[in-house]
Amino acid sequence: MSNPSEAPVAPVEAYEPPYYVAVFTSIRTEDQSGYSETAARMEELVKEVPGFLGMDHAHTPGGLSITVGYFRDADALTEWRSNAEHRAAQKRGQAEWYESYTLHVAKVERSHGFSRA
Amino acid sequence: MSNPSEAPVAPVEAYEPPYYVAVFTSIRTEDQSGYSETAARMEELVKEVPGFLGMDHAHTPGGLSITVGYFRDADALTEWRSNAEHRAAQKRGQAEWYESYTLHVAKVERSHGFSRA
C-alpha cells in the first residue's frame, strides 16, 4: 500500500456494493529514507490495475497511518498483490519502514456517503 | 464513529476472519465545537457493544480522517448502528462537524499482521 499526498481531499465515494476494501494500518519506524519515493511509485502503479477504484489515506503525526484501497473485485486485488514491484516494496517496508502493520481485506456489503455541498 | 486519542498506538490486530470492518472516512468542517467530547463518549459507548473488537483512527492535519471499527459479526454492527446516542451524534455530525464523509461496511475475508518485535 502507498502513501498518497497529505493534501486535503474528498474521501473516495461510496460505490455500489459489492466491491473490496484493503485496510492497511501501520506504525512507522523513525528512519523513513526512501519511503515517500516508493509510496509515490506505488500510487502510480496501483492506478494501472484494472478494477482499482481509489485510495484514501490519513496519518496522525507521530501515530497511526491508515491507507484504504478500493477495488472492484477480488481479481483486481490479486493482480495488485502479485505485482513484482509492489512485493519488493513490501519486503523493504518490513525491513525498514514499518514498526508494525495490519492488513484487512474485506468485501463491502453496504456503503453510503454524505456531502454538505 | 468516534475519534479516539491521537496518541501513538499499535494498530488493531488481525483477527481470525470472518469479522466486520466499518471504514469511516471524513473531511471535517472548521467549527469542531463539541466534537471531541462527543467522540470520546462514542468511544466509551462502542466498547459496550458485545462483539466490538477495536478501533483504529488516523487524522492528517487539515486533511482526511479515517476511523476503522472492527466487529465480530453483523449483529454487533446493527446494535451499534441503532444505538440512540450514536444516532443523535450522527445527526449532529451532519449538521456541524462533517464537510463530507463515506462509510463502507465490509466483511473481512483475509487478514494478516506484521510486527518488528
pLDDT digits (tens, 9 = 90+) for A70-104: 999 999 999 999 999 999 999 999 999 999 999 99
Distances in Å between the Cα of B61 and the Cα atoms of A17, A57, A62, A109, B89 are 30, 12, 12, 30, 22
CATH label, A19-108, candidates 3.30.70.100, 1.10.3720.10, 3.30.1950.10, 3.30.1330.30: 3.30.70.100
User: Distance between CA atoms of A48 and A52, rounded to whole angstroms?
Assistant: 8
How would residue A2 be classed by pLDDT, with cut points 50, 70 and 90? very low
Give the helix/strand (H/E) hosting A26: strand A19-28
Distances in Å between the Cα of A91 and the Cα atoms of A6, A86, A97 are 24, 9, 10
How would residue A10 be classed by pLDDT, with cut points 50, 70 and 90? confident
User: Distance between CA atoms of A58 and B12, rounded to whole angstroms?
Assistant: 16
- The answer, for B91 touching chain A at a CB cutoff of 8 Å, is no
In angstroms, the first-to-last Cα distance of chain A is: 30
Mean pLDDT of chain A: 92
Choosing among A19, A23, A59, which should be mutated to test the B contact, i.e. which has the most B CBs within 10 A?
A23
Lookup result for grid cell 466491491: A19
Q: Which of B12, B99, B103 is closest, CB to CB, to A102? A: B12
Within chain A, residue ranges assigned H as helices are 35-46, 74-82, 84-92
pLDDT score of A3: 45
Q: Give pLDDT < 70 ranges for chain B.
A: 1-8
Task: Report chain A residues whose CB lies below 8 A from the CB of B9.
Answer: 27, 63-64
pTM: 0.92
A41 pLDDT more than 70: yes
pLDDT digits (tens, 9 = 90+) for A65-78: 999 999 999 999 99
Q: In what order do the strands lie in the sheet with B65-71?
A: A52-59, A65-71, A19-28, A98-115, B98-115, B20-28, B65-71, B52-59
Q: Three-class SS string for B33-75?
A: CCHHHHHHHHHHHHCCCCCEEEEEEEECCCCCEEEEEEECCHH
- Would the CB atoms of B58 and A68 count as touching at under 8 Å? no
pLDDT score of B117: 73
Q: Which residues of B47-57 are buried (b: 16+ CB within 10 A; e: fewer)?
A: eebebbbebbb
How would residue A6 be classed by pLDDT, with cut points 50, 70 and 90? very low
Give the helix/strand (H/E) hosting A66: strand A65-71
